[in-house]
Structure 1
Amino acid sequence: MKDRLLQVTQKMRALQLADVRSYKGYVLMASIFGLAVVLAFGAATLAVRGIEHVVARDTRAVLAQNGLDWAEVQTDGLLLTLRGEADSEASRFRALSVVSTVVAAERVIDDMQVAPSMEIAAPRFLMEILRNGLDVSVIGLIPTDFDTASIVSRIEQIDPEISVIDMLETASHPVPFGWDRAVAFGLEALTLIPASKISIAADQVEVTGLADSERQRNEMRETLMRDRPRGLIASINISAPRPVITPFTLRFVIEESGARFDACSADTTEARMAILRSGRAAGAQGVIDCTIGLGSPSPRWQVAATESITALAALGAGSVTIADTDVSLVVPNSIAPERLDRVAADLERVLPEVFSLDTLRLPPSAGDEGERSDPAIEFVASRAEDGIVLLRGQLTDARLRDAVHAVAKTEFGLNAVRINARLDPDLPEGWPVRALLAVDTLAQLEHGQVRVRADRFDISGVSGDASVSDKISRAVAEQLGRGAVFNLDIRYDERFDPVAMQPSPARCERWIKDVLEEQQITFNPGSASIVTDAGRVLDKIAEILRDCGRLEFEVAGHTDSQGRLETNMRLSQQRAEAVVAALSGRGILVSDFVAKGYGPEFPVADNATAAGREANRRIEFRLTGESAAEAEAERAGGAPVPEEAAPEPPDEADLEIEVTSGAGDVPRPPERPQR
């Protein structure tokens, strides 16, 4: 039994040992298999990582080459993800297209974002107003917050009969800076010019229009230049039609004092230049005006004018007058008859066929002054500087005296005319026409005298119309006919010219300078206290500045060289500040004024003399900033230019003015004046 149990036990142990050995084999095999799996997975991972690195590197490179380096690249096995913010949908699509050259499109995951679109920019608001008399059309785009009805209402206020067609559209954007002032300036131009086109933007206004005459054109231009808001760019193009000249007149005079044009008309620019060249060759000097107009009696007017001037220059004295096709050559008695006949014959040969020549050699009794043998026979119309008109001399009868008196009262006012005329029925033929013409001619002068004699018509005086000599010559030639002998001595004075006297930066600066040249602003010795008598000077300057509006000025104080430099510099500064304060006290807006003390730095006279030191102690006003730029542009535009050097004016006689603001448009004056 025991042996049996022992055998069984031994078999069981053998079996157990076999099981243990079999289990260890299994474990070993499992371990080997597991290790192989791990090694395979590791190798695969390393391969994938290598592939991801290569794909990411190549993708980033191709993105950078195309300027798309904002795109971020991430790889996950064979998949590639693009992230980042594109500035537009086009940039996002371009990034996908570029990456597809490296990685198949189905393996690319698009995780890119597109930057939000910016707010839509406000459009350029522009309004155009077309006016033809009482018909007005308004077209354009304006801000919604700007009341359309107010624009139409303001236009309707120009005239009760005006008709406005409103074709404005609106956009819901803020009203741009400067829009209100630009609209106000544009509507002012519309009010001023009945035939016009006004284009209005926030920073610029373009004005195109028609004027009835050159004078009206100049007045419109001056008004708009003066009222233009500071900082607003304004383009002003106003055209004036050619005047109709009748009769077409030219008058050239050579006297001991020199040669001059009393009247000059031309039908073309070329004719104008040729006539002016002939006049200068005959001795005329200075700035000469010659009106280009309609009404020329012949296309060969230029030939008649230039040849007539040349003939008079050959004689050396006298006058030549052309009225339409009538040429009148009048010379003093000092010209020999043979010489006159020879020159007249030469002139007749070269004059165009339609022109006729009449010559007159004044008798010995006429002399240089044109005196008659009986100087008592005359009619004189004179106007004094105070406006009183005196009519004296001889008239043919009571009817003529009443007619002359009535015309004068109509022209000059009921209480301004004094008449003291004697009646003489034996006066020379044509006396009534001459007497009435004298009153009409005097009405074109601010003050002066018109003297009527049987053989001569003399006009002298002052006028604010630069072209008055042309007008008077034309009227006299038309009324008195061929062979009329008349003499003009009319001086232009801009003080009586409403256009020339309108305030502008350059004129305001000059007017203040004139006041200070007449009397300086003086101070108590060694102080900045203005003396009482200088108050009148400040009153005059304040009155000028009120009319001139807002300007930028430097008020400069100067001293003589006596005393310490530091003291003089401080004193000049204090005196300049005192002047600015005094003007402010008189209601002048001085926010754009700068007080500057220069001490003795810029003397205008010799400090070694008492008179020189007194002249050096002074106050000066000088425009600065945009005001100085406008003044420089004004001076440049108005400077006289010799006709030979001047640019040809357009045949339409248009005037185009560009008024701009900003330092880039006009050279800015130096910060420190040269005194």
Structure 2
Amino acid sequence: MLSLIAARFAVTLVEETSEYSVRQSLDTKSLTWAEVYADGLQVVLTGTAPSEASRFLAISTAGTVVDAARVIDEMDVEALAALAAPRFSIEILRNEDEVSLIGLIPTGADRADLLQRLSRISNDDEIADLLESADYDIPDGWDNAVDFGLEALEALPRSKISIDALRVTITAMAESEERKLKVEARLKREVPSGLRVSFDISSPRPVITPFTLRFLQDEAGPRFDTCSAHTEEGRSKIVGAARKAGIEGDLDCRIGLGVPSPNWADAAAMSIAAIAELKGGSVTFSDADVTLISPPGTDQREFDRIVGALENSLPDVFALHAVLTPDPSDPSQGPAEFVATLSPEGLVQLNGRLNDEIVAQTAESFAIARFGSATVSNRARTDEALPGDWPLRVLSGLEALSLLSNGSARVTAEDITVTGNTGSKSARSDISKLLSDKLGEGSRFSVEVTYLEKLDPVASMLT
């Protein structure tokens, strides 16, 4: 009896001590919702936890007071709010007869009817059904969206249709621009009320042959007779040049295949700018052939300067043929000439006319050798009607110009005129001797050179 009483007392002491210690630890961590009672060495936790995390925290807290193996979990967790329905959607890919489906649909949706409708445009063997289903209510608008998506799929043999209850996105390739416009127009008429639809239907670019562009400016103002571009960026560049030339309103510049050079837009923009600078005329591109016609009455020197700059700026593949329209009131348009100018800063400009590309390259190389590559700007144009001794006269004028500090050398078929300033007292005689030796007896030239002491490196030295 004494042993029984002692055992009973010991059990009560252990249970009360364990229960008190665990409850105190739970209250310290604000877990007041948990109930604790001890049964021998076991500590039982009851109550309703607000979340699974709170339940786990209660078990962990009790395990720090007594051996975790002695903690018995009989707690409940509050029921969570009903889970929201997932987003139901279907992605349909079609490549002619091959059709693939992937996505999630409601269990109540008529899957068999969907596959039967797809079998009208594809054999069952060509349909890859990767759809999953979830047991939720069918969302509002789902059936209308699926019906419209299948209509679009049937009209577009190469397409991707994305369908959900609120939106259908159509990405496809049409056989031609005309087919694209027809399909878009028909589908837009059939869009169900409340359904948002987006179209991204592309079509292959047409082949333009020859690749043409014609820009002209006359009394009616600047305009395009025809315009072609090879990219959106190229069209923007051409349209931008036309806007600067004065065109207003909408511009139609067709994008297509068959461009003769990736630099088409740059060449077109340069030519349009040249017409604007001439204040009239026209420029016509037919593949890589470029024809520029000036307005009547254009000054010969101005024409040579503008055309020369354009000819030297055009990419290599383009061949420029420039025509100076004669002035009806002045049939003589002035003599052919070549003018080279040297600025006080050392910049050299070549303007006027040269026989051909070989002569143009030779004159530019000679000028670079005399004045430096960074200072020479070649704006001369080619003219095959020039006399045979023209290259010699041009090179002689350039060499004479190299003896000046600044000035110009003007070359015509009759004479050569060299004017400018120099810091050498012997420059006049040196130039005269040079031209006499180069051009031979009977040659006509004039030297109008002014000696300036401030340009003389010897005279300006400190005493």
TM-score (norm 2): 0.57
Relative to structure 1, the CA distance from residue 150 to residue 62 in structure 2 (aligned partners, 3 Å threshold; closer, same or farther) is same
Relative to structure 1, the CA distance from residue 111 to residue 180 in structure 2 (aligned partners, 3 Å threshold; closer, same or farther) is same
Equivalent residue, structure 1, for 2:133: 171
1:136/1:165 contact within 8 Å kept: yes
1:152/1:166 contact within 8 Å kept: no
CA RMSD of aligned residues (A): 4.1
Equivalent residue, structure 2, for 1:319: 282
CA distance in 2, matches of 1:286, 1:264: 15
CA distance in 1, matches of 2:28, 2:200: 54
Equivalent residue, structure 2, for 1:261: 224
SS of the aligned residue for 1:101 comes to helix
Equivalent residue, structure 1, for 2:95: 132
CA distance in 1, matches of 2:82, 2:296: 89
CA distance in 2, matches of 1:168, 1:195: 19
CA distance in 1, matches of 2:261, 2:125: 44
SS of the aligned residue for 1:285 comes to coil
Q: How far off its partner does 1:225 sit?
A: 4.9
CA distance in 1, matches of 2:42, 2:124: 76
2:278/2:295 contact within 8 Å kept: no
CA distance in 1, matches of 2:87, 2:147: 18
Name the aligned partner's letter for residue 210 of structure 2.
P
Name the aligned partner's letter for residue 127 of structure 2.
I
Q: Superposed, which structure 2 residues align to 1:129-208 within 5 Å?
A: 129-157=92-120, 164-171=126-133, 173=135, 174-208=137-171
Name the aligned partner's letter for residue 276 of structure 1.
V
Q: How far off its partner does 1:72 sit?
A: 1.8
2:101/2:131 contact within 8 Å kept: no
SS of the aligned residue for 1:136 comes to strand
1:330/1:361 contact within 8 Å kept: yes
Gaps of 5+ in 2: 329-463
Q: Deviations over 1:230-263 (max 9, x none)?
A: 4444443333344332221211121223212333
1:136/1:163 contact within 8 Å kept: no
Gaps of 5+ in 1: 1-39, 366-675
1:142/1:168 contact within 8 Å kept: no
Equivalent residue, structure 2, for 1:607: none
1:141/1:168 contact within 8 Å kept: no
CA distance in 2, matches of 1:273, 1:320: 19
Name the aligned partner's letter for residue 316 of structure 1.
K
Relative to structure 1, the CA distance from residue 100 to residue 342 in structure 2 (aligned partners, 3 Å threshold; closer, same or farther) is closer
Name the aligned partner's letter for residue 139 of structure 1.
I
Q: Superposed, which structure 2 residues align to 1:59-138 within 5 Å?
A: 59-64=22-27, 68-75=31-38, 80-86=43-49, 92-105=55-68, 108-113=71-76, 123-138=86-101
CA distance in 1, matches of 2:35, 2:318: 94
Name the aligned partner's letter for residue 167 of structure 1.
D
Relative to structure 1, the CA distance from residue 203 to residue 324 in structure 2 (aligned partners, 3 Å threshold; closer, same or farther) is same
Bigger proportion of residues as strand: 2
SS of the aligned residue for 2:162 comes to strand
SS of the aligned residue for 1:182 comes to helix
Equivalent pairs counted in the alignment come to: 321
SS of the aligned residue for 2:66 comes to coil
Relative to structure 1, the CA distance from residue 161 to residue 168 in structure 2 (aligned partners, 3 Å threshold; closer, same or farther) is closer
Structure 1 residue aligned with 2:208, among 223, 233, 245? Answer: 245
Relative to structure 1, the CA distance from residue 286 to residue 121 in structure 2 (aligned partners, 3 Å threshold; closer, same or farther) is closer
Relative to structure 1, the CA distance from residue 163 to residue 67 in structure 2 (aligned partners, 3 Å threshold; closer, same or farther) is farther
Equivalent residue, structure 2, for 1:278: 241
Q: How far off its partner does 1:125 sit?
A: 3.1
CA distance in 1, matches of 2:41, 2:102: 63
SS of the aligned residue for 2:60 comes to helix
CA distance in 1, matches of 2:221, 2:156: 42
Q: How far off its partner does 1:168 sit?
A: 4.4
TM-score (norm 1): 0.41
1:179/1:203 contact within 8 Å kept: yes
Q: Superposed, which structure 2 residues align to 1:288-327 within 5 Å?
A: 288-327=251-290
2:100/2:130 contact within 8 Å kept: no
CA distance in 1, matches of 2:57, 2:183: 59
Name the aligned partner's letter for residue 208 of structure 1.
T
Relative to structure 1, the CA distance from residue 160 to residue 126 in structure 2 (aligned partners, 3 Å threshold; closer, same or farther) is closer
CA distance in 1, matches of 2:76, 2:124: 58
Equivalent residue, structure 2, for 1:657: none
Q: How far off its partner does 1:202 sit?
A: 2.6
Equivalent residue, structure 2, for 1:7: none
CA distance in 2, matches of 1:329, 1:138: 58
Q: Deviations over 1:67-109 (max 9, x none)?
A: 6443222357876432113467775454333212123446544
Name the aligned partner's letter for residue 256 of structure 2.
G
SS of the aligned residue for 1:280 comes to helix
Do structure 1's residue 356 and structure 2's residue 319 form an aligned pair?
yes
1:140/1:167 contact within 8 Å kept: no
CA distance in 2, matches of 1:269, 1:196: 24
CA distance in 1, matches of 2:208, 2:29: 74
Equivalent residue, structure 1, for 2:447: none
Identity %: 47
Name the aligned partner's letter for residue 251 of structure 2.
I
Q: Deviations over 1:473-492 (max 9, x none)?
A: xxxxxxxxxxxxxxxxxxxx
Bigger relative CO (Cα 8 Å, ≥ 6 apart): 1
Relative to structure 1, the CA distance from residue 128 to residue 357 in structure 2 (aligned partners, 3 Å threshold; closer, same or farther) is same
Relative to structure 1, the CA distance from residue 307 to residue 97 in structure 2 (aligned partners, 3 Å threshold; closer, same or farther) is closer
CA distance in 2, matches of 1:70, 1:313: 87
2:97/2:122 contact within 8 Å kept: no
SS of the aligned residue for 1:131 comes to strand
2:298/2:325 contact within 8 Å kept: no
